[in-house]
Amino acid sequence: MSREFLPICREDMVKRGWKQVDFVYVTGDAYVDHPSFGHAIISRLLESRGYKIGMIPQPDWRRKESIMEYGEPRLGFLVSAGNMDSMVNHYSVSRKRRKKDAYTPGGVMGKRPDYACAVYGNLIRQVYKNVPIILGGIEASLRRLAHYDYWSDKLKRSILLDSAADIISYGMGERSIIEIAEALDAHIAVQDLTYIDGTVVKMTDAEAVYDKLLLPSFEELREDKKRYAKSFYTQYCNTDPFSGKRLVEKYSEHVYVVQNPPSKPLTQMEMDDIYALPYTRTYHPSYEKAGGIPALSEVKFSLISSRGCFGACNFCALTFHQGRIIQARSHESLVMEAEKLTEEKDFKGYIHDVGGPTADFRHPSCQKQLRTGTCKNRQCLFPTPCKNLNANHKDYIQLLKKLRNIPKVKKVFIRSGIRFDYVLAEKDRTFLKELCEYHISGQLKVAPEHVSDAVLDRMGKPKNKVYREFCREYKEMNRQLKKEQYLVPYLMSSHPGSSLKEAVELAEYCRDLGYMPEQVQDFYPTPSTISTCMYYTGVDPRTGENVYVPKSPHEKAMQRALIQYRNPENYELVYEALKKAGRTDLIGFEKHCLILPRRRKKAETDIKHAGKKKKIRNMHRKKESI
């Protein structure tokens, strides 16, 4: 394999002396040959096995000709919406169209369709009636069975049916895509590929599926939200590659969607091999004139050290996509990649991140996971750390030391986030010391998300007292090191379980902290999370309990405004929220109050406007005198 870009057009294919490609890869992202982009990993992996890949990045979905660039591929089409779900990419939580797309040349919006996997799949099927279509990536992975779609506000079918595709390779996909490719290359019909782990397929006879759990039919799920909550939790409890059952979802008398168990975790050697593939580590040169791909700048000087997360926050879909079992690269692999980074002409001496979904998770949470899998009904960290948890940062500390000792490296940052409860679960505080001394610069971002224990329970996060203990220890460690460094908490508004009462509690926390966040994350109901299931059904799928869900845009705006109560633009929303919550004690002149009374506020506003008018009049007078 050579370190050059894969073909993006027929001319490139001909230059390589190819008459036909084995797979055409259609992606909603621009072509970036970097291991932080899913299409780069899958295409390079297939190339390493001898397959010819032709890339079609961001085709014009309004023209059939756009996916006919290479003609009919020998084995099939690979289809991905890109590194993000296309709807999250296009719309904010308030369902407003975003202005920029970081995965498109120059950040231009509108180069991919809504529901990209379904649109691309149907476009291909119109032209190529019998060619296998394999879906992959985050959009297909998290929509693999019946799912709530926030943007249409309804339950949608498996994307396998809506896209006219033959098979979904879900999760990270390296194992399943090779098995699919080898089977197709051996002339096995795509309809017969019903057995591969990490895939979702269509079948006509549920009796042919062994070791299965039969989920309620799509019609039953659509009619009964509580039944959907139970079905979703069955899916959640079968996301483990060792213990997961085959799940069967009925759509009609002769159409069943079957989810095979997840693929087994990659070994360290397999991880190393994947990240050692000959990536060019940049975007295709054809994008240079448009200004390049903004998303690359966020990851260009970062290192992916691990996959998976046993934190299992309820608003995160990682359990469904990467799983709870940690897979990590070796020190040698990461040091080698870091040394390559130092050779880049625009490297300034800073490695921006070393991590994964959670930076300080470098090994499975306990010994049994690689033998029998994760526990079905027990979380590793929630509500308290499991007694079998192996809370140990030694490997990560050693890795960070090796990286910061590389010539030309000035500093190694940790930006992908740490779990403060996991840090506290380890008796030794060496990692906290190393973190404060070497790996942050002025501030550390952490994610307590909320301060109300009732809301934290719905989030799957530790109680607030755990975060307060971490704050105390972080402050003390910096005092010992004679460093002035701060914590920046990520906070979330309007999560299921949060009423105005809990939102006011969060506002009071910000007041006591003397901190007003510039940005607040309003809960975003993305596919395949426990929190999204709560949002849609009003039920906690873990317990069956009813959950309060703030859904009206106005209440969500009030909850968000409370966190940013100091912003003058939020005054009316905060005033209304405090009245509705019965907390008018927080409107006044006392130190504990969030806002001033309405009359005083109006007077201040009038004075402010009068001052502006006076300035404008003075400016006009000066101009006239000139």
> 327-328 and 306-307: which strand pairing?
antiparallel
What's the CA gap between 180 and 167, in Å, rounded?
A: 9
What's the CA gap between 563 and 506, in Å, rounded?
A: 7
Is 533 annotated to bind a ligand? Reply is: no
What's the CA gap between 72 and 551, in Å, rounded?
A: 47
Token pair for residue 362?
């470098």
Residue found by looking up tokens 């291991």 in the block: 35
- What DSSP character marks residue 254? T
Closest CA to 440 of 408, 478, 406: 478
Inter-helix orientation angle 394-404/430-438, to 10° = 20
State the DSSP H helix or E strand holding residue 54, giving kind and residue range, or none if neither. Answer: strand 53-57
Residue found by looking up tokens 């970097």 in the block: 34
Token pair for residue 338?
């870091």
Is 380 annotated to bind a ligand? Reply is: no
In the chain the first and final C-alpha atoms are separated, in Å, by 72
At 297, is the secondary structure helix, strand, or coil? helix
CA distances from residue 120 to 26, 84, 159, 164 in whole angstroms, order as listed = 8, 15, 12, 9
**149 — phi, psi (to 5°)?**
-110, 110
Strands (E), 111-203: 133-136, 147-149, 154-156, 167-169, 199-203
Is 316 annotated to bind a ligand? Reply is: yes
At 596, is the secondary structure helix, strand, or coil? coil
**Binding site members:** 309, 313, 316
Annotated binding site for [4Fe-4S] cluster: 309, 313, 316
